[in-house]
Structure 1
Amino acid sequence: MNCTQDSAPVLSVSDLVTSFRVERQWRQVVKGISFDIKPRETVAVVGESGSGKSVTALSVMRLTQPGSSRIEGSIKLSGKELLTLPEADMRRIRGNEIAMIFQEPMTSLNPVLPIGFQIAEALVMHRGLSRSEAEAETIRLLEKVRIPAARSRFHEYPHRFSGGMRQRVMIAMALACKPKLLIADEATTALDVTIQAQILELIKLLQEEDGMSVLFITHDMGVVAEIADRTVVMYNGEAVETSTTEAIFTRPTHPYTRSLLAAVPKLGAMEGVRRPMRFPMVDRKTGLSDVPTETADTVATSERPVLEVNGLTTRFEIRSGLLGGVKGRVHAVENVSFSLQPGETLALVGESGCGKSTTGRSVMRLIEPLSGSVLLDGEDVLKLDQKTLRERRVRMQMIFQDPFASLNPRMDVGTTIAEPLLINRLATRSEAQDKVAELLQRVGLHPDMASRFPHEFSGGQRQRICIARALAVEPRLIVADESVSALDVSVKAQVINLMLELQERMKLAYLFISHDMAVVERVSHRVAVMYLGEIVEIGPREAIFGNPQHPYTKRLLAAVPVADPARRHEKRPVSNDEIKSPVRAPDYVPPVRQYREASPGHAVMIWGEEWERKDQRTEMAA
């Protein structure tokens, strides 16, 4: 950005210490951090969960809980000390001079108020506009953040918007009063790569137009390279390294910074590598890295596939009222077919709403499909009665995205891991205890941890517990549904390395559901790209990433943030199209799809005129 080096900083944070009262003692969470943000400059604060990033942002806004928190040091906005301001004055600054975008827009928007009213409210309160003036200005802001048909959507409620569109609404709300500083706290973490790319491009464009400064909180180093002028690396509440983003990426000095960068999956890093490869692990104290190696060839192509899915179709009916007739159907999964060999990883990729998770749940029969077949070792799972299905689920297990939500908070982890063994009568209680100790060691945890409860573990450790539970019954197939999406880069690398090691040892087959294309490239043998419930392209990993054929696949790959600050000012071909709705009329009959073979094992759906136009737009933008 065009920040002026000798200009006075918009925000100056000096020796910031934030403490929380825990069991009658003050515990420091942010420990003496200092940084400045100049006009038009973007500063990124990066680090793992628990490093103090978000607490730093909340301290700047003075949004920590009074009474149980304490903020010391100095926070100056354009030379004005914020920590000594009365709360009434601070309320006038929040949303007016400093605005904040939070990670989850649905928890930040009022679900019972139209989005237009919520934006207009800030304009009436801070800028003194009348209701009619505020409505006109809100429509202008919605158009500015690329909300299609902004005037007609003014009176719509948050649940009617997609995740990416809700985040755009939050940006419009944040920009309503033309703030000097925008704080974006993990604003793109939960978004798909295409939506993430749109939001990043939008923030950069609006920053150029309005001249604001940005404090960007994230643990995604690819996003940092894409947007930040300078970077502050936090570890255990301290700023361990502060420099220009280019220097951080090319000449990192602190071991922790080097470990963060080593764990970043880079698109294209697998060129010329035939099989999945482990992430290099860097010691945080010494900065020394091991040498990543390819996994052994575990794919048993001579055996019958462990999973054969043919013509899988899952739809959800939309009824008008409790007793009303069917007024439409969500075509969540439409005529999907693929197979999976023992020891193989097939990745299902695509944007939210494309049908990835529904496919995984339909394979497990957690959702009942409408039609098709799912053969597990040659036996059709969809034709089994409930008793036989429970017995067969021993051979197929699922790892969910949110480990905390999938663990019983009232049950210690030892009991959680032992439960499937006892329910399926695969072990006695004493045998189960021995098995739990072995499984905890296998996933890199200590057997003594069996007596602890889920809340006593970090996110990465909880995901390891979920993996241990899935492995307890020694399955042949594991459906991993966004199992590493919510994890920090270093924890993500550890969990993926563990999954690859277990696959090598046990010849596990993985159906790996993800929207993170760089991770998919690292772990998969084959890739299937989904759009609106259908597979539009499927083939070997090197074919999909090295020679993508379908325009949608090209769009997904073009949207992946590149961890290279030198390319930060390049304009990328980002599409602003929303993914279409999968809702169809009750009498809708899906067209018969045709595929062509681009190379051995690489099949591509033959697309029509609409995709041809999109493909041309992408090429022109590039």
Structure 2
Amino acid sequence: MTDSAMTEPVLSVRNLTVSFRSADIWRPVVRDVSFDVGPRETVSIVGESGSGKSVTSLAIMRLLAKGASSIEGEVLLNGQNLLALPEEQMRDVRGNDIAMIFQEPMTSLNPTFTIGRQIAETLIRHRRISAAQAKVESIELLEKVRIPNARARIREYPHQFSGGMRQRVMIAMALASKPKLLIADEPTTALDVTIQGQILDLLKLLQEEEDGMSILFITHDMGVVAEIAERTLVMYRGDVVESGPTEGIFRRGREPYTRALLSSVPRLGSMGDRDWPLRFPIVDIETGQASEPTEVAGTLDRSRTPILSVRNLVTRFDIRSGFLQRKTAAVHAVENVSFDLAQGETLALVGESGCGKSTTGRSIMRLVEPCSGEVQLDGYDVLKLGPRDLRRMRRSVQMVFQDPFASLNPRMSVGTAISEPFLAHGLGSKAQARERTADLLERVGLTTDMMRRYPHEFSGGQRQRISIARALSLEPKVIVADESVSALDVSIKAQVCNLLLDLQESLGLAFLFISHDMAVVERVSHRVAVMYLGEIVEIGPRAAVFGNPQHAYTRKLIAAVPVPDPARRSMKRNIAVDELKNPVRPRGYQPPKRNYREVAPGHFVQME
């Protein structure tokens, strides 16, 4: 029995039910939820979108809209029922006794105030200390969350920090009043894998310190749950379907939904020496039974001319300053990138945000204009094309973006959105377009009667299928998938990845798969290219790059991947707290010539 089990819980939730008003009817979205969080204990609530986990946390904080929501039950913080407190007293509890950090720190930070002012404001409000004291403590808090050069950076604004550093600032603000409980709602979901590792290490470290707090950690990532939580609650459609020690949940999950979540998580290293991508197991939520994953039988022939050939691609963005707006520097987004892509092949571009992988994909399609280099695509010399030929070239290559809702017109029906490219390129009549749209919807696992619906009527996974159908309407030979599954729940991610692999097998598609999710990349790719600061630092067959990584940055990426194994909970990665180096270079800067060595057939690494 743990020490926390023998003492009074910091938080005790009893029979919590949350309902929302819809058309004068109260509909429960969280039903009869009960759990405890002990001193210095981390309890995780896990589940997919719509399971009720975030609503549970907002109900505990009493942040749900009055009138539109109803909360029943008890939420006891050190024995005090928060649901019975007047709003004025509850405001004192928030920040003093309970603090919360959210998934996207930019929505929680004021872009017009410095970081120092925002932390100091919290200290002055809750601790009643002077402005001078607040400044000193703000610097100490930034140092506590391992932000380098805190004394200077306290005068900077949120936009001057990376995503990981902004999340550290949010943790510093949450710690300002030394709360007894920290609620972390998907705090690492939007972060790169190395930054996610740093944040998890930081939370473990803060909990070990003398004034260590309890943590309620909300996520849909079972790998993160395994690494941080002592106990876990699994939620499904508003109900807690299983709860208990994390190790027991992972080793002996009783409920089909728990087993479904665990089976859907890709495990790094599970591919071994396979040469071909492997489909994800699809799990029946009602029974917990997983389908047997199968290899993708491809028609890959690298002896033929590549469908896409990129040589010495350079893309830079000018920075202008001064009264005359003269060019003073440039962002070296893509620097001397070269690779080939064969028909039926998947090449994954991996790296952290800002490494240039998305700009590489957009440069190939001429959505941004490269400065120099050569791009040969299906017989086109892409960088020399005029507007008419460029339009024709884009029939050969299409792009699937991370956020399908942003890339679909909300005022356009799904059928119209899919048929629009077909009609715009003059490939047939409206009747033929409807027929092709119906065929595409069925090919991506949807039904023809969905053609009249609008994007808001679909789930995230369905919207991504619609985006894929639209990309296929021109019968492209190459698809650039730019973080196309990173925003999806784990089971939906598995379904969409399988769809892409099925389409590759049946249509011979080539994919440039842009991602920072190393476990997914290992599963779906034939070859992998690792990017850092606009350059490819390592490229080779998937088994070679993952089985024998040569570059220090590649090893860092692989080491940071959370593994769904509770035995790793006490492990710390000790990832250096560095931001990605600045790709801005002064005017006239000439990058050094890079040399590569071949460490195995087709496996090249940049010499450091």
How much has 1:304 moved relative to structure 2?
1.1
Q: What residue is the counterpart of 2:103 in the other structure? A: 103
- Alignment deviations for residues 311-355 of structure 1 (CA, whole Å, 9 cap, x no partner): 100000100057321111100000000000000000000010000
Q: Aligned-pair distance for 1:144?
A: 0.6
Aligned residue in 1 for 2:90: 90
Measured in 2, the distance between the counterparts of 1:560 and 1:465 equals 30
Q: TM-score, normalised by structure 2?
A: 0.99
CA deviation after TM superposition for structure 1 residue 213, in Å: 0.5
* Correspondence 1:73 to 2:77: no
Please give the alpha-carbon distance, in whole angstroms, between the structure 2 residues aligned to 1:417 and 1:118: 46
Distance 1:428 1:573 in 2: 60
1:571, CA displacement in angstroms? 2.6
1:230-258 C-alpha deviation (Å, 9 max, x unpaired): 11111111111111111111111111111
Tell me, yes or no, if structure 1 residue 335 matches structure 2 residue 336: yes
Residue 569 of structure 1: how far off its partner (Å): 0.8
The separation in 2 between residues aligned to 1:427 and 1:68, in whole angstroms, is: 49
Aligned twin of 2:355: 354
* 2-structure distance, mates of 1:253, 1:245: 13
User: Alpha-carbon deviations, 1:154-205, whole Å to 9, x = none?
Assistant: 1111001010000000000000101000000000000000000000000010
Displacement, 1:299? 1.2
Whole-Å separation in 2 of the counterparts to 1:129 and 1:18: 37
Shift, 1:573, TM fit: 3.8
Number of residue pairs matched? 607
Amino acid at match of 1:472: S
Structure 1 residue 426 and structure 2 residue 427: aligned?
A: yes
Q: After the TM superposition, which of the residue ranges 570-579 and 253-262 deviates more from structure 2? A: 570-579
Q: Give the conservation status (yes or no) of the 8 Å contact 2:147–2:165.
A: yes
Distance in 2 separating the partners of 1:479 and 1:2: 50
Q: SS of the residue aligned with 2:15? A: strand
Distance 2:139 2:481 in 1: 41
Q: In the aligned structure 1, how far is the partner of 2:574 from the partner of 2:115?
A: 29
1:119 and 2:119 matched: yes
- Please show how residues 89-238 of structure 1 align to structure 2 within 5 Å: 89-209=89-209, 210-238=211-239
Q: Which residue of 1 aligns with 2:31?
A: 31
Unaligned runs of 5+ in 2: none
In the alignment, the residues of structure 1 paired with residue 579 and residue 8 of structure 2 have an alpha-carbon distance, to the nearest angstrom, of 40
Aligned partners of 2:273 and 2:233: how far apart in 1?
A: 34
Q: What are the Cα deviations for residues 18-37 of structure 1, in whole angstroms up to 9, with x where unaligned?
A: 11111222111111111111
Contact 2:147 2:577 in 1 (8 A): no
8 A contact 1:194–1:575 mirrored in 2: no
Name the amino acid aligned to 1:371: S
Asked whether the 8 Å contact 2:414–2:451 carries over to 1, the reply is: yes
- Once residues 37 and 501 of structure 2 are traced to their aligned partners in structure 1, the CA distance between those partners, rounded to angstroms, is 42
SS at match of 1:83: helix
How large is the RMSD of aligned CA atoms in angstroms? 1.0
Distance in 2 of aligned mates of 1:272 and 1:152: 48
Q: Measure the CA separation in 2 of the matches of 1:437 and 1:254.
A: 37
% identity of equivalent residues: 67
Decide whether aligned partners of structure 1 residues 3 and 544 sit closer, same or farther in structure 2, where only a CA change above 3 A counts: farther
For residues 388 and 273 of structure 1, what CA distance do their matches in structure 2 show?
Answer: 40
Q: Answer yes or no: is the 8 Å Cα contact 1:3–1:40 preserved in 2.
A: no
Instruction: Structure 1 unaligned segments of length 5 or more: list them.
Output: 608-622
Counterpart residue number, 1:613: none
Superimposed CA distance per residue, residues 28-73 of structure 1 (whole angstroms, 9 cap, x where no aligned partner): 1111111111111111111111111111110010000111111111
TM-score scaled by structure 1? 0.97
Letter in 2 for 1:119: I
DSSP-derived class of the 1:545 partner: helix
1:562 aligns with 2:563: yes
Q: What is the CA–CA distance in structure 2 between the aligned matches of 1:441 and 1:68, rounded to whole Å?
A: 38
* Alpha-carbon offset, residue 468 of structure 1: 0.6
Q: CA deviation at 1:286?
A: 1.3
| CA deviations over 1:70-118 (Å, ceiling 9, x no partner) | 1111111111001110000000010110000000000000000101110
Separation in 2, partners of 1:75, 1:441: 47
Q: CA deviation at 1:303?
A: 2.1
Paired with 1:584 and 1:14, the residues of 2 have a C-alpha distance of 57
The 3-state SS of whatever aligns with 2:188 is coil
Does structure 1 conserve the Cα–Cα contact (< 8 Å) formed by 2:198 and 2:574?
no
1:263-282 equivalent positions in 2, closer than 5 A: 263-282=264-283
* Counterpart contact for 2:188–2:199, Cα < 8 Å: yes
| Cα distance between partner residues in 2 of 1:82 and 1:556 | 42
**Deviation by residue 1:580-603 (Cα, 9 ceiling, x = unmatched):** 000001021100000000100000
1:427 positional shift = 2.1
Kindly indicate whether the alpha-carbon contact (under 8 Å) linking 1:2 and 1:40 is maintained by their aligned counterparts in 2.
no
Shift, 1:302, TM fit: 3.0
- Which AA in structure 2 matches 1:441? E
State the secondary structure of the residue aligned to 1:5.
helix
Cα deviation digits, residues 478-498 of structure 1 (max 9, x gap): 000000000010000000001
Provide the secondary structure at the position in 2 that maps to 1:474.
coil
Shift of 1:572: 2.0
Inter-partner Cα distance in structure 1 for 2:315 and 2:243: 50
Inter-partner Cα distance in structure 2 for 1:529 and 1:340: 15
User: Distance between the aligned counterparts of 1:432 and 1:96, measured in 2?
Assistant: 60
Measured in 1, the distance between the counterparts of 2:495 and 2:190 equals: 20
Matched with 1:618 is none
TM-aligned CA deviation for residue 300 of structure 1? 2.3
Deviation at 1:447, TM superposition (A): 1.0
What's the counterpart of residue 616 of structure 1? none
Q: Does 1:502 align with 2:503?
A: yes
**1:345–1:523 Cα contact (<8 Å) kept:** yes
**Number of the residue aligned with 1:325:** 326
For residues 487-526 of structure 1, the aligned pairs below 5 Å read: 487-526=488-527
